[in-house]
Amino acid sequence: MQELNIGGKLLDEEQIAQKVREMAKEIEEEFEGEEIYVIGILKGACIFVSDLIRHLNCPVKLDFMSLSSYGMSLESSGVVKILKDLDMDIEGKNVLVVEDIIDTGLTMEYLKGYLTARKCKKLKICTLLDKPEGRKCDIVADFTGFHLPDEFIIGYGIDCQENYRNLPYIAYVK
Protein backbone atom coordinates (compact mmCIF):
# COMPACT_ATOMS: atom_id res chain seq x y z
CA MET A 1 0.00 0.00 0.00
CA GLN A 2 1.27 3.42 -0.95
CA GLU A 3 1.71 5.53 2.20
CA LEU A 4 0.30 9.00 1.77
CA ASN A 5 1.21 12.18 3.54
CA ILE A 6 -2.20 13.11 4.94
CA GLY A 7 -2.22 16.86 5.32
CA GLY A 8 -5.19 17.06 7.64
CA LYS A 9 -8.95 16.72 7.94
CA LEU A 10 -11.13 18.86 5.73
CA LEU A 11 -14.41 17.49 7.10
CA ASP A 12 -14.94 15.54 10.29
CA GLU A 13 -17.55 12.86 11.00
CA GLU A 14 -20.10 15.21 12.57
CA GLN A 15 -19.87 17.78 9.76
CA ILE A 16 -20.51 15.04 7.23
CA ALA A 17 -23.38 13.50 9.22
CA GLN A 18 -25.10 16.87 9.63
CA LYS A 19 -24.80 17.65 5.93
CA VAL A 20 -26.18 14.23 4.95
CA ARG A 21 -29.27 14.85 7.11
CA GLU A 22 -29.76 18.31 5.55
CA MET A 23 -29.40 16.93 2.02
CA ALA A 24 -31.94 14.17 2.71
CA LYS A 25 -34.52 16.80 3.71
CA GLU A 26 -33.86 18.80 0.51
CA ILE A 27 -34.22 15.66 -1.59
CA GLU A 28 -37.52 14.71 0.09
CA GLU A 29 -38.88 18.20 -0.65
CA GLU A 30 -37.80 17.96 -4.31
CA PHE A 31 -39.50 14.60 -4.88
CA GLU A 32 -42.56 15.46 -2.72
CA GLY A 33 -42.77 12.05 -1.06
CA GLU A 34 -42.82 10.13 -4.35
CA GLU A 35 -40.75 6.99 -4.82
CA ILE A 36 -37.12 7.62 -5.71
CA TYR A 37 -34.84 5.29 -7.63
CA VAL A 38 -31.48 6.02 -6.04
CA ILE A 39 -28.44 5.12 -8.12
CA GLY A 40 -25.23 4.99 -6.12
CA ILE A 41 -22.01 5.33 -8.09
CA LEU A 42 -19.53 2.68 -7.00
CA LYS A 43 -17.24 2.49 -5.28
CA GLY A 44 -16.69 5.96 -3.90
CA ALA A 45 -20.31 6.83 -3.07
CA CYS A 46 -21.11 3.57 -1.25
CA ILE A 47 -20.77 5.03 2.24
CA PHE A 48 -22.49 8.31 1.36
CA VAL A 49 -25.44 6.63 -0.38
CA SER A 50 -25.89 4.23 2.55
CA ASP A 51 -25.99 7.08 5.04
CA LEU A 52 -28.22 9.22 2.81
CA ILE A 53 -30.98 6.70 2.13
CA ARG A 54 -31.34 5.97 5.86
CA HIS A 55 -32.49 9.60 6.26
CA LEU A 56 -34.97 9.59 3.36
CA ASN A 57 -38.56 9.31 4.60
CA CYS A 58 -40.10 8.28 1.31
CA PRO A 59 -40.16 5.08 -0.76
CA VAL A 60 -36.68 4.26 -2.07
CA LYS A 61 -35.39 1.70 -4.54
CA LEU A 62 -31.61 1.31 -4.63
CA ASP A 63 -29.35 0.30 -7.49
CA PHE A 64 -25.70 0.86 -8.31
CA MET A 65 -23.59 1.68 -11.31
CA SER A 66 -19.85 1.48 -11.63
CA LEU A 67 -18.02 3.77 -14.01
CA SER A 68 -14.37 4.45 -14.49
CA SER A 69 -12.34 7.28 -15.89
CA TYR A 70 -9.42 6.89 -13.47
CA GLY A 71 -8.53 3.19 -13.35
CA MET A 72 -5.54 2.92 -11.04
CA SER A 73 -4.27 6.36 -12.04
CA LEU A 74 -4.47 9.51 -9.92
CA GLU A 75 -5.83 11.54 -12.85
CA SER A 76 -8.90 11.12 -15.02
CA SER A 77 -8.30 9.74 -18.49
CA GLY A 78 -11.37 11.57 -19.77
CA VAL A 79 -12.73 8.32 -21.21
CA VAL A 80 -15.74 6.98 -19.30
CA LYS A 81 -16.36 3.25 -19.17
CA ILE A 82 -19.44 1.58 -17.67
CA LEU A 83 -18.22 -1.33 -15.58
CA LYS A 84 -21.62 -2.18 -14.04
CA ASP A 85 -24.95 -1.02 -15.44
CA LEU A 86 -28.32 -0.78 -13.70
CA ASP A 87 -30.33 -3.85 -12.77
CA MET A 88 -33.61 -1.85 -12.71
CA ASP A 89 -35.63 -0.22 -15.46
CA ILE A 90 -35.84 3.54 -14.77
CA GLU A 91 -38.22 4.56 -17.54
CA GLY A 92 -40.88 6.86 -16.09
CA LYS A 93 -39.23 6.84 -12.64
CA ASN A 94 -37.83 9.55 -10.38
CA VAL A 95 -34.07 9.03 -10.41
CA LEU A 96 -31.47 10.40 -8.02
CA VAL A 97 -27.84 9.77 -8.95
CA VAL A 98 -25.65 9.83 -5.84
CA GLU A 99 -21.96 10.53 -6.38
CA ASP A 100 -19.14 11.03 -3.90
CA ILE A 101 -17.39 13.84 -5.73
CA ILE A 102 -17.68 15.82 -8.94
CA ASP A 103 -14.32 17.06 -10.15
CA THR A 104 -13.82 17.37 -13.92
CA GLY A 105 -17.52 16.61 -14.41
CA LEU A 106 -16.81 14.39 -17.41
CA THR A 107 -18.11 11.21 -15.81
CA MET A 108 -21.30 12.87 -14.57
CA GLU A 109 -21.91 14.61 -17.90
CA TYR A 110 -21.63 11.26 -19.68
CA LEU A 111 -23.85 9.53 -17.11
CA LYS A 112 -26.53 12.24 -17.24
CA GLY A 113 -26.85 11.81 -21.00
CA TYR A 114 -26.84 8.03 -20.69
CA LEU A 115 -29.61 7.98 -18.07
CA THR A 116 -31.70 10.70 -19.75
CA ALA A 117 -31.84 8.49 -22.85
CA ARG A 118 -33.58 5.87 -20.67
CA LYS A 119 -36.58 8.23 -20.34
CA CYS A 120 -36.81 8.67 -16.59
CA LYS A 121 -39.53 10.96 -15.24
CA LYS A 122 -37.14 13.19 -13.30
CA LEU A 123 -33.33 12.98 -13.06
CA LYS A 124 -31.47 14.77 -10.28
CA ILE A 125 -27.80 14.64 -9.30
CA CYS A 126 -26.58 14.58 -5.71
CA THR A 127 -22.92 14.86 -4.76
CA LEU A 128 -21.38 15.07 -1.34
CA LEU A 129 -18.35 16.96 -2.64
CA ASP A 130 -17.85 19.38 -5.48
CA LYS A 131 -14.51 20.66 -6.77
CA PRO A 132 -15.61 23.25 -9.38
CA GLU A 133 -12.03 24.47 -9.98
CA GLY A 134 -11.31 21.20 -11.81
CA ARG A 135 -14.41 21.32 -14.03
CA LYS A 136 -13.90 20.55 -17.72
CA CYS A 137 -17.59 20.67 -18.71
CA ASP A 138 -20.77 22.46 -17.72
CA ILE A 139 -22.32 20.12 -15.13
CA VAL A 140 -23.92 21.24 -11.88
CA ALA A 141 -25.34 18.97 -9.20
CA ASP A 142 -28.89 19.57 -7.97
CA PHE A 143 -27.82 18.76 -4.41
CA THR A 144 -24.30 19.50 -3.19
CA GLY A 145 -22.89 18.90 0.26
CA PHE A 146 -19.59 20.75 0.30
CA HIS A 147 -17.51 22.76 -2.16
CA LEU A 148 -13.84 21.91 -1.79
CA PRO A 149 -10.61 23.39 -3.15
CA ASP A 150 -8.77 21.48 -5.85
CA GLU A 151 -6.91 19.16 -3.45
CA PHE A 152 -6.43 15.41 -3.69
CA ILE A 153 -8.73 13.96 -1.03
CA ILE A 154 -9.38 10.62 0.64
CA GLY A 155 -11.78 9.12 3.15
CA TYR A 156 -15.51 8.47 3.62
CA GLY A 157 -15.51 6.15 0.60
CA ILE A 158 -13.02 8.09 -1.51
CA ASP A 159 -9.83 6.22 -2.25
CA CYS A 160 -6.31 6.47 -3.48
CA GLN A 161 -5.60 3.34 -5.49
CA GLU A 162 -8.30 1.46 -3.52
CA ASN A 163 -6.93 2.48 -0.09
CA TYR A 164 -8.24 4.85 2.61
CA ARG A 165 -11.97 4.45 1.81
CA ASN A 166 -12.61 3.40 5.41
CA LEU A 167 -11.56 6.70 7.00
CA PRO A 168 -14.64 8.16 8.75
CA TYR A 169 -13.61 11.70 7.75
CA ILE A 170 -12.40 13.45 4.61
CA ALA A 171 -8.76 14.49 4.49
CA TYR A 172 -6.49 16.07 1.95
CA VAL A 173 -3.19 14.65 0.79
CA LYS A 174 -0.02 16.74 0.70
Please choose, from the candidates 96, 89, 90, 91, the residue with its C-alpha nearest in 3D space to the C-alpha of residue 58. 96
Q: Which of 51, 100, 103, 130 is the catalytic position? A: 103
Distance CA 50, CA 48 (A): 5
DSSP state of 92: T
Please choose, from the candidates 38, 21, 44, the residue with its C-alpha nearest in 3D space to the C-alpha of residue 122. 38
Please choose, from the candidates 153, 168, 170, 165, the residue with its C-alpha nearest in 3D space to the C-alpha of residue 74. 153
- Is residue 89 annotated as a catalytic residue, yes or no? no
Distance CA 157, CA 71 (A): 16
Write out the catalytic residue numbers.
Answer: 103
